[in-house]
Amino acid sequence: MTMSPSIDDDEPIDVLTPDGLPTGIVKPRALIHRDGDWHRCVFVWIVRAGPRGPELVLQRRSRTKVTWPSRFDASVAGHVRAGESRRDALREVEEELGFAVHEDDLVLQPPHAEVHRFENGLVDREHHDVALLRRDVPLETYRPSPLEVTGLVAVPVRDLASLVRGERSELSGLVLVIRDAQENVHLTPVTLRRDDLVPYTGGYVERLCASAEELAAT
């Protein structure tokens, strides 16, 4: 599988314990994944008002990603570098979606721990630092990095929760917003199925959908 050119294999990452505590060990990203070490990631899920109620913005990951290529995931999902604070790690928002965000704008959520094992032998053990961000602007105004993100879609939170729970087989009538290399914006109809999403355990996405609905109501 081809490594995305946006990924720095030598990026220093803090190794954590299974409980999320620092070990004092720092390793390059590639070795973190090779060895299946626990590490910290920042996840920002953008909430916005939609015609059928609150929506979550999902990114479609680049097709060259080592893990979950072309799957739909959190609005922003990135590794926290060694020694970074949450405020520092919010650089991921600008790197992936093209706009800056302040820590005070976030609505913090309970952390989440996730383990993914892949056929190529990679083991991804992550502690997610999770937050919601309210942002009511058109997706066409986003400027995502094509190395990271190949499209954005806004999904009604109730529909997304139903899809993740297996109550619905697919979500149709959605629009994928794509910005090409020439800065042209394309709107493409898209149907989402459960297998199109990066899978998460423990009711993670369902809880976020409920929190997003509460945030939209305030």
Q: Is there a domain that residue 101 lies in? A: yes
Prediction pTM value: 0.94
Distance between CA atoms of residues 187 and 180, nearest Å:
11
Sign, CA dihedral 80-27-19-71, equals positive
Share of the chain above pLDDT 90, in %: 88
Report the DSSP beta bridge partners of residue 40. Answer: 127
**Rounded to the nearest 10 degrees, how much is the dihedral formed by the CA atoms of 82, 96, 90, 38?**
-40
Band the pLDDT of 8: cuts 50, 70, 90: confident
Convert 89-111 to b/e letters by CB count within 10 Å (16 or more is b): bbebbebbbeeebeeeebbebee
pLDDT tens sequence across 165-209: 999 999 999 999 999 888 999 999 999 999 999 999 999 999 999
Structurally, the chain folds into a number of domains equal to 1
Distance between CA atoms of residues 96 and 16, nearest Å:
25
Kindly report the CATH number assigned to the domain that includes residue 32.
Answer: 3.90.79.10
Q: Is there a domain that residue 6 lies in? A: no
Q: Is there a domain that residue 4 lies in? A: no
Distances (CA, A) of 189 to 69, 134, 157: 20, 24, 18
pLDDT tens sequence across 26-65: 999 999 999 999 999 999 999 999 999 999 999 999 998 8
Distance between CA atoms of residues 120 and 218, nearest Å:
45
Q: Is there a domain that residue 3 lies in? A: no
Q: Is there a domain that residue 7 lies in? A: no
Distance between CA atoms of residues 38 and 13, nearest Å:
10
Q: Is there a domain that residue 87 lies in? A: yes
Q: Is there a domain that residue 159 lies in? A: yes
Q: Is there a domain that residue 148 lies in? A: yes
Domain that holds residue 115: 12-213
pLDDT tens sequence across 105-132: 999 999 999 999 999 888 999 999 999 9
Share of the chain above pLDDT 70, in %: 97
